[in-house]
Structure formats: structure tokens, C-alpha cells
Structure 1
Amino acid sequence: MEDDAVRTGSGPLSDGGEAIAVTDETEEISPDEVCVLIPTLNEAATIADVIEGFAERGYTNVLVVDGDSTDDTREIARDHGAEVLVQSGDGKGQAVREALEYVTVPYVLMLDGDGTYDPADADRMLEPLSRGYEHVIGNRFADMDDDAMRALNGFGNRMINRAFGFVHGANYEDILSGYRAFTVDSFKRLSLDSDGFTIETELAVECVKHGVETTVVPVSYSARPDESETNLHPVKDGGTILLALYSLAKTNNPLFYFGSLGVAGILSGSLIAVYVLWEWVQYHQSHEVMALASAAAILLGVQLLMFGVLSDMLVTLHREQRRRLERIARDADDE
């Protein structure tokens, strides 16, 4: 534990392999340097309290990007001093990407507008940015109300976090957290395509992929007010997130992605081969078509494995080259 912040994952490295940029020195971030970004969809019951909670702490630069709510979310947000942007597309991911085009300050504090996150955690979320971190994730499991998350949702969240750690090699503790703080510069380095609720997953993967210095801090997480309805569907959205985790491994961990496909091909081909051999030994029946399919599956699997190894080598070389270029750029700025 480091000032209530836990550093996880890896960030920009020098050629010597040592982490850079993060220091113990803190330079307090002014609320005027922070844009509080709140994606919303039918949050009329809670948005006023969220905005007021930040205003009481000096964070008056609030941008609400609304997904065309059918209730009074936009009107209430404007009445409480927030700037309101109606997104041109659909989904939380598209809303975040579009909103960042209007942000003119160096730091963003992003959270949902459903009242589950506490504005009192704002300073804790922003503090690591003052020490050189570029992305901060609020860990909901550190202080969660007993009724804030259903048992199925909690189980699914933990399984997704374990899958992320296994596939992408970083422990971010709560990659689905909607409470994030980050620098605008680091956000611009990320390649984000997600339109829906997989935006948090994509942010976590991109942080690993691009070497963005990321840390996790504990935050409180409350239950939704009774009058506020969730837009999440646990089974459907959980499956979509797992699929996104696997799909994003294509460019971040190609050895796992293509290797898993290769192993699946080899195993399936081998099973078919065993069946064909058993039929021939026991009943002297030949299955030429199945034998050809078995050989094709095994060959394809071997090729995918080899492609995964080569792709992993290319990704590693690309990351090393990127780190050299970043170091050259930093040296040039220092001069």
C-alpha cells in the first residue's frame, strides 16, 4: 500500500527496464484543472446529488454527456451548473470518446451518474496523477455496501478480473469500475473502439498495451437508489465483456490468442484422429473424409501456434521501440 494507492501493472519503461515518471513528490491538482465527466442515460433521480457532491468540493467543471435520456436528466444537470452534451451515437464508450473532444483541461475524473460512487473520493482518485501516474482505477470491492452488488454480479466481476490478469498479465483488481481518473494526454495514446459497457475493459487492456502508468485506489461503492434503474444486463453484458477480453488479446497478447486457437485445433484434430484409428482397428472401417479433416485441423493448429509466437515477438519489439521513442521525446522536452 502506498498512500492508499496500489500500483499494479506496468507502465513506461526505460531501456534498462526501470519504471520512470512516477515519484513520491506530490504537486496538488487544482479542481480547475479537472473535468468531471459523467456519462448518463435516464439518471434524473440521482444526477443532481452527484453534481452537487462535486460542487461542494470545488469541482465545478462538470460535463454530462447524455445518451438521449427520455427523462429530465439533461434539464436537471443544466439547472445544477453542469455543461450538457447530447452524444451523437449510442453507448457509453462512444459517449466517452466524444466527450474527450470537448475537454480543455489536463485531467479527467470519470464516473457514472447513478449515485453509486462517492464524490468524497475525488481527491483520493486524483492524488496519484500528481505523482506521475496516468490512469487511476477506483476499486469498488475495497468498501462496498452489502446490497450494492448482487451475488451473481460480484462473482462475475471477480471472474472477469481473474481472466483479465491471466490473459493480459496485469492485476488491476476491478477493471469494470466506472470510477476513473486519467490524464487527457494518456487517453489520446489509447486506441479505443468500444461503444458500449466494454469501455472500461478496453481502457484496462489499452493501458497494459500502451504502457500507461496505472494504479488502483480504494473507493466506496453504494447501492443504487430505489428510484434509479440499472441499464446493465448481467449475463448478456458479462458475456460481451469476456468476449472483448479475448478479442483484445489479439493485439496485446497474440501468443495467448492465436495459441489458444492453435491448441483447440490440434486437440480437435487429435480427437478425430483417435476416433478414426479406433474405427479402423476395431471394425476395419475407414473414414477418409474425417481423416482429412483431422489432418487439416492439426496442421492449422500448428500454424496458428507458430503465428502466435511470431506475432508475440513482433509485439515485444514494437513495445521496445515505442519505449525508446518515448525516452527520446522526454529527453528532448527536458532539453
Structure 2
Amino acid sequence: MRFSKPSIAVILPAYNEELTIGQVIRDFHAALPDAVICVVDNNSSDRTSVVAAATFEDLGCAGRLIHEKRQGKGNALRRAFFDVDADIYLMADADQTYPASRAADMIAPVARGEADMVVGDRHSGGHYGDHNKRRFHGFGNDLVKSMINFFFRSSLQDIMSGYRAFSRTFVKTYPIMVAGFQVETDMTLHALDKRFRVMEIPVEYVDRPAGSFSKLNTLADGAKVIFAIFQILRYYKPLAFFGTVSVVLMMSGFVAGIPVLADWFTYQYIYHVPLAVLAAALEIVAVIFFSVALMLDSIVHQHKMSYELMIVSIANKT
């Protein structure tokens, strides 16, 4: 299904959001009356689908209700990106935490061809810090942001924002490999690695309304995000990842070999035989890891070249 150009699709992943989904649909329809509102019911056990369908009918707007049984925000977005065809995509949570009034500002850089992904930055204005009551969640955000900015030499402020606008090229060439809430981090890493144009726009953020509860678990979801980062580094930055492991092993082997070298230079005999074996083994493994790093880095480079050619091919067809 292809809408008249320039077509806009608002993607709203929803899991047990019957209290808020109706108002969120109304707000985004008011902000973008020509957009198609797509609610992805991610296996909700409440009346999310019923409320969404009733709201579409009441507004008389172009709306789609998509069902995704596989649990997780990543799965919901994967289904939406596969099923929905548009020129510009706007993603937001269905819990009234992101302002629909900023929707036009979010999609404008994509419409002008200035960005492939626009991120609603909750941190620059201090709104997220004012409303976020979970200290460890904020700490996790800062940790992830620091790691990504360090490894990718970027200066992004909000890595995990769920308010984003995308170009068609980004959506149709982005392989969603994660299932849960770490998908925003995965999007950011993919965009940075594949040299997509990323822009951040400060937006207001408010906490959920009374009676609505977050599905996030600070420790569990934080651990998933950290694990996802290491997975991405392993796949996209193998030289840095395996090279770091190689250096650690090499230094460990050197430390283990200090008593061995001291024996040899002092007595011309090795008394610390176990340490000598350990040091030699660590150095051998370090060389192996460094060799793996070089080989994988070459493979990743070839993959990036193929990806660039694919994007050029897709751009020429649109």
C-alpha cells in the first residue's frame, strides 16, 4: 500500500496502553492530519486494540491497526516497518510521554532531505531529568551515551529516545535484529555505523499519566542494552572489540611473565614454570585474537561497501 506523496506514517507501538492510546491517536492526528496513524498492538491483554479502532472510527482518519504477537518493541517495529509503506516515518510511544505538537518539527528535516533520522532529544532541555524518577535508569542512559559517543566519535545527547523520524531509505534498509526496548539503541548504532545523517531536536518530555505504568525494568532492560552494545561492537567494530581483548591478554601475559624474566636474568634458570606456561599461553591467545580482529575488520569493510552500493541502488529507484 503506497500513499500519495509525500506520505507520512506515524508508528505507535502499544502494549497494554488502553488508558492513553486514544488520546495519543487524537493528538498525532491533530498535529499531522494527512498522516496515516498505525497502531501496532504488541500482544496486549487489555482493550488497547478496541480503543484504537474506536478512535480511528470516531475521528474518521486514515488509520491502521496492526497486530504483532511476538512480544517486544523491536518485534512490533519490525512488523510495522515491513508492512507500512511511506516516504516519512514518525515513531513515538503510545503513553503520552512525547509531545505530538512537535511532530511537524520532527519530520521537517527528513522532508527537506537534511536527515535520515531525527531524534527527539529529551535531555538537553532538562525535561527528562525533571520527570524521571528512576535514578538507575538515568545512570544507565548516561553510561550508554558515553560508550556510544566514545566508540563512534559522536556527540549525541539522547541515545534511547523513543521519539524519532526516519526517511524511507533508512526504514527499508534497517535490519531490526533485537526484540525489545533496546531497539532505540540499536537504531542509533546502525545509523552511526552506516553513516546515516542523524539530527537531534530538543523536545519536551512528561511522565506517564496517573494509572499508566511503564513496562521497563531498569536493571533487566539496562542489562539488555549494555549487552546489545557489546554485540554491536563485536559485529561492527571488531578491530576495537577483539583488539582490546588482545591488548588485555597481552598485558596479562606480560605481568605473569615478570617473575619468569626475573628468574632468568638473576639465575639463568626458571623456577616459576607454571607462570611461564601461563604467560606463553596468554601471549599466544593474544596474537590469535589480534589476527581475528584484522580478518573481521576486513569483512566488515567489505560489508559496508556492499551496503553503500545497496543504498545507492535503492535511492536511484525511488
What range describes the TM-score normalised by the shorter chain of this pair?
Answer: 0.7 to 0.9
1:115-154 counterparts in 2 under 5 A?
Answer: 115-132=96-113, 133-143=115-125, 144=127, 146-154=130-138
2:16 to 38, 42, 48: 42
Q: CA deviation at 1:292?
A: 2.0
Q: Structure 2 counterpart of 1:307, which letter? A: V
Relative to structure 2, which stretch is displaced further, 272-281 or 204-213?
Answer: 272-281
Aligned to 2:60: none
Q: Which 5+ residue runs of structure 1 have no aligned equivalent?
A: 1-29
2:25 to 51, 58, 69: 51
1:212-251 counterparts in 2 under 5 A?
Answer: 212-251=196-235
Q: Could you tell me whether the CA contact under 8 Å between 2:173 and 2:311 is conserved in 1?
A: no
How far does the alpha carbon of each residue in 1:103-158 deviate from its partner, in whole angstroms, 9 at most, with x for none? 12221100111111010110111011022121111111133151235332222212
Mark the CA change 1:149 to 1:126 in structure 2 (over 3 Å): closer, same or farther: farther
Q: Could you tell me whether the CA contact under 8 Å between 1:168 and 1:253 is conserved in 2?
A: no
Aligned to 1:271: 255
Relative to structure 2, which stretch is displaced further, 172-181 or 321-330?
Answer: 321-330
Q: CA deviation at 1:300?
A: 1.4
Task: Give 3-state SS (helix, strand or coil) of 1:220's partner.
Answer: coil
Q: Distance in 1 between matches of 2:207 and 2:10?
A: 21
CA RMSD across the alignment: 2.9
Q: Could you tell me whether the CA contact under 8 Å between 1:35 and 1:107 is conserved in 2?
A: yes
TM-score normalised according to structure 2 size = 0.85
Aligned to 2:293: 308
Aligned to 1:11: none
Q: Could you tell me whether the CA contact under 8 Å between 1:35 and 1:108 is conserved in 2?
A: yes
Mark the CA change 1:278 to 1:227 in structure 2 (over 3 Å): closer, same or farther: farther
Task: Give 3-state SS (helix, strand or coil) of 1:272's partner.
Answer: helix
Q: Structure 2 counterpart of 1:165, which letter? A: N
Q: Structure 1 counterpart of 2:201, which letter? A: V
Aligned to 1:33: 7
Q: CA deviation at 1:211?
A: 2.2
Aligned to 1:295: 280
Task: Give 3-state SS (helix, strand or coil) of 1:38's partner.
Answer: strand
Kindly indicate whether residue 91 of structure 2 is the aligned counterpart of residue 110 of structure 1: yes
Q: Distance in 2 between matches of 1:45 and 1:306?
A: 55
Q: Write 1 or 2 for the structure with the bigger share of helix.
A: 2
Q: Could you tell me whether the CA contact under 8 Å between 1:31 and 1:59 is conserved in 2?
A: no
Q: Which 5+ residue runs of structure 2 have no aligned equivalent?
A: 57-62
Relative to structure 2, which stretch is displaced further, 293-302 or 68-77?
Answer: 293-302
Q: Distance in 2 between matches of 1:121 and 1:319?
A: 34
Q: Structure 2 counterpart of 1:312, which letter? A: D
User: Per chain length, whose mean CA-contact separation is higher, i.e. which structure has more relative contact order (CA < 8 Å, sep 6+)?
Assistant: 1
Q: Could you tell me whether the CA contact under 8 Å between 2:169 and 2:311 is conserved in 1?
A: no
Aligned to 1:22: none
Mark the CA change 1:214 to 1:77 in structure 2 (over 3 Å): closer, same or farther: same
TM-score normalised according to structure 1 size = 0.81
Q: Distance in 2 between matches of 1:221 and 1:75?
A: 27
Mark the CA change 1:226 to 1:273 in structure 2 (over 3 Å): closer, same or farther: farther
Q: CA deviation at 1:303?
A: 2.8
- Equivalenced residue count is 304
Aligned to 1:255: 239
Q: Structure 2 counterpart of 1:68, which letter? A: N
Mark the CA change 1:318 to 1:219 in structure 2 (over 3 Å): closer, same or farther: same
Aligned to 1:6: none
Aligned to 1:98: 79
User: Any runs of at least 4 consecutive aligned residues in structure 1 with deviations exceeding 3 A, and if so which?
Assistant: 274-282, 284-290, 309-330
Aligned to 1:189: 173
